[in-house]
């Protein structure tokens, strides 16, 4: 029986073992490319791969589980083992990861009074239910049972969030009860307060940081009780949010020096080895002074690009790693090509208002309800009402609204409110006729994934709509998760300047990675053969959406663009180069 221990160092079967790991999130990469990314990780000299586990993907609805396709966690772990890699799993209910609500399911927020990441029994019950299923997969894959998993994390950067040590102990015990036998770690910011708040007895504290290795390891050493030093997230780049002015990059020269020092003094997990993509509506957001939703690409200026290409960082890091281990010879087995499929013209189009009833049935209520109360987690929601008593609209205000609202009067856009604009009354001063139709299209831009605002992330309108100072009642709700676009009827008409769907088709002889250039379009999301590629927004920095070849098929393919601002051009382009800003 194989054994992994933590004493004064890491020990694998009694021999000292230096963890040289890289982060790969299986849920951000199509499974056909897992082998390619793992082979490249091994070829850089890494002996371990680390991954988070995204709860919201594996349990999209309470009690409904998915571990297939892109979410086949067991297959990913066994593939790593096949290639001779060990695995670190971070299954904590919260992962941050610039992922929607930090990986927590949006449906948690349907419950009034829900408290996250603390000894709040309704939350812990959901964790227990989920872990019972998850660890049926993970427990047999631990090293003592013949699998490759050598470490598991109890919680993630908890010291940045709270100080409920009973919660940390409870989380550890839930994992023990579900069969965890490998050693535990925690990971926190490299400062006294974070390490003090986030650590728990029986788990090795590790640090997350991107520079200042010696200084930060000195602080960490005070908490390891003589155990090994490890940076569990060596940040080699950073993430982009919409409107940040350009693609974020790390300091390669300095990070190379820091990596060398980490391997001299301890162990490392490089975050990210390859970032991948926030497909669908899975990007997270941060909120300090303002909302900053992350872009679709999670390139992260990682060691490999979003599309898995080698970077200068790869070669520099490989040279450093070669000082501490033998670099293996690896034959890359996955053929990947990039293709330009040229300019595509709109084939069909239909307006959202015209096809609304094809996408969802109206739900009636006196008050506007948020998505979560209507069993919806992601996408858009449209609120509709008739103005029977108002003589005009002088002002409108949405209370408890998140994140971005397009407001229409008789299907003509009259205002867009985003983030902090939703906290204020909007002056519009428009005459209306009795029975005028008011529509409010609200987009969930990605729930905040860090900090106390996570508990206040209901999307849509959670309180009320004020018109001319009074609350307006009686609403139709149309849930638009956009997971049923096959129901679109493109024969139903179209209104210029309003939200709409645009269909493109193109024939493929050889499939290859390609990149959707959305120049000239405003804001929305794109779908390829029914797969949600993610969001686009003209404000950048990202200018093209990554389309991995396995999402294409030989023969005819279909792209649908959902444009919310009514800003379109007659074409899109599929190019053979990325442009993340």
Q: Are 365 and 461 in contact (CB under 8 A)?
A: no
Q: Are 102 and 284 in contact (CB under 8 A)?
A: yes
Q: String of b and e for 329-351 (b: at least 16 CB within 10 Å)?
A: eeeeeeebeebebeebeeeebbb
Helices (H) and strands (E) in the chain, counts: 10, 32
Active site residue 157: yes
Three-class SS of 6-49: ECCCEEECCEECCCEEEEECHHHCCHHHHHHHHHHHHHCCCCEE
Out of 157, 306, 354, 372, which one is annotated catalytic?
A: 157
Using alpha carbons, list the distances in angstroms from residue 493 to 264, 362, 489.
66, 20, 9
86-90 and 149-156: which strand pairing? parallel
Which of 476, 498, 488 has the alpha carbon at shortest distance from 382? 476
What gap in Å lies between CA 251 and CA 102, rounded to an integer? 26
Phi and psi for 177 in degrees, rounded to 5?
A: -65, -25
DSSP 3-state of 286: strand
Q: Could you give the angle at the alpha carbon of 539 between the alpha carbons of 538 and 543, nearest 5°?
A: 55
Which of 85, 45, 17, 83 has the alpha carbon at shortest distance from 322? 45
Q: Could you give the angle at the alpha carbon of 311 between the alpha carbons of 308 and 312, nearest 5°?
A: 165
Q: Identify whether 189 is preceded by a cis peptide bond (ω within 30 of 0).
A: no
Out of 155, 233, 306, 372, which one is annotated catalytic?
A: 233
Question: Which residue is it, tokens 């029914």?
Answer: 530
Q: String of b and e for 299-309 (b: at least 16 CB within 10 Å)?
A: bbbbbbbbbbe
Chain centroid offset of residue 164 CA: 26
Strand intervals (E) in 298-379: 342-345, 348-351, 363-365
Active site residues: 157, 233
């Amino acid at each position: 029986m194989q054994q992994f221990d933590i004493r004064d160092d890491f020990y694998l079967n009694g021999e000292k073992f230096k963890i040289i790991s890289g982060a790969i999130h299986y849920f951000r990469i199509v499974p056909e490319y897992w082998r390619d990314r793992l082979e490249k990780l091994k070829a850089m000299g890494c002996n371990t791969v680390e991954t988070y586990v995204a709860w919201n993907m594996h349990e999209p609805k309470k009690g409904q589980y998915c571990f297939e396709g892109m979410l086949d966690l067991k297959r990913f772990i066994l593939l790593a083992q096949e290639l001779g890699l060990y695995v670190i799993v971070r299954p904590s209910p919260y992962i941050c990861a610039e992922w929607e609500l930090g990986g927590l399911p949006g449906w948690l927020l349907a419950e009034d009074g829900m408290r996250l990441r603390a000894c709040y029994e309704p939350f812990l019950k959901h964790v227990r239910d989920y872990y019972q299923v998850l660890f049926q997969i993970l427990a047999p894959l631990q090293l003592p049972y013949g699998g490759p998993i050598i470490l598991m994390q109890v919680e993630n950067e908890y010291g940045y969030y709270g100080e409920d040590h009973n919660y940390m102990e409870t989380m550890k015990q839930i994992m023990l009860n579900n069969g965890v036998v490998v050693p535990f770690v925690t990971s926190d910011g490299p400062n006294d307060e974070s390490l003090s708040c986030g650590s728990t007895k029986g788990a090795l504290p590790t640090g997350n940081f991107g520079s200042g290795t010696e200084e930060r390891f000195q602080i960490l050493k005070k908490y390891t009780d003589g155990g090994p030093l490890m940076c569990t997230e060596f940040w080699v780049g950073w993430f982009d949010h919409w409107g940040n002015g350009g693609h974020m990059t790390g300091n390669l020269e300095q990070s190379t020096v820091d990596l060398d020092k980490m391997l001299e003094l301890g162990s490392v997990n490089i975050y990210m080895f390859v970032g991948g993509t926030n497909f669908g509506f899975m990007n997270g957001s941060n909120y300090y002074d303002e909302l900053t939703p992350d872009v679709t690409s999670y390139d992260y200026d990682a060691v490999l690009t979003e599309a898995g290409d080698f970077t200068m960082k790869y070669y520099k890091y490989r040279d450093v790693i070669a000082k501490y281990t033998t670099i293996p010879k690896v034959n890359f087995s996955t053929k990947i090509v990039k293709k330009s499929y040229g300019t595509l013209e709109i084939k069909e189009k239909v307006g959202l208002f015209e096809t609304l009833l094809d996408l969802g049935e109206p739900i009636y209520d006196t008050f506007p309800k948020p998505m979560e109360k209507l069993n919806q987690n992601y996408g858009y929601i449209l609120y509709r009402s008739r103005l029977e008593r108002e003589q005009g609209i002088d002002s409108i205000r949405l209370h408890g609204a998140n994140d971005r609202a397009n407001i229409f009067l008789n299907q003509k856009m009259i205002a867009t409110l985003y983030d902090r604009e939703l906290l204020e009354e909007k002056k519009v001063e428009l005459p209306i006729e009795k029975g005028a139709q008011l529509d409010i299209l609200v987009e969930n831009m990605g729930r905040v994934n860090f900090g106390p605002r996570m508990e206040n992330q209901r999307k849509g309108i959670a309180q009320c709509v004020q018109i001319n100072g009074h609350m307006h009642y009686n609403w139709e709700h149309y849930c638009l998760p956009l997971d049923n676009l096959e129901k679109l009827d493109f024969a139903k008409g179209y209104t210029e300047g309003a939200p709409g769907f645009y269909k493109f088709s193109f024939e493929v002889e050889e499939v290859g990675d390609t990149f959707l250039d959305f120049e000239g379009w405003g804001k929305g999301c794109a779908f390829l053969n029914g797969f949600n590629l993610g969001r686009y927004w003209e404000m950048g920095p990202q200018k093209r959406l990554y389309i991995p070849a396995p999402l294409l098929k030989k023969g005819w393919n279909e792209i649908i663009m959902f444009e919310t601002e009514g800003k379109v051009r007659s074409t899109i382009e599929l190019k053979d180069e990325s442009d993340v800003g």
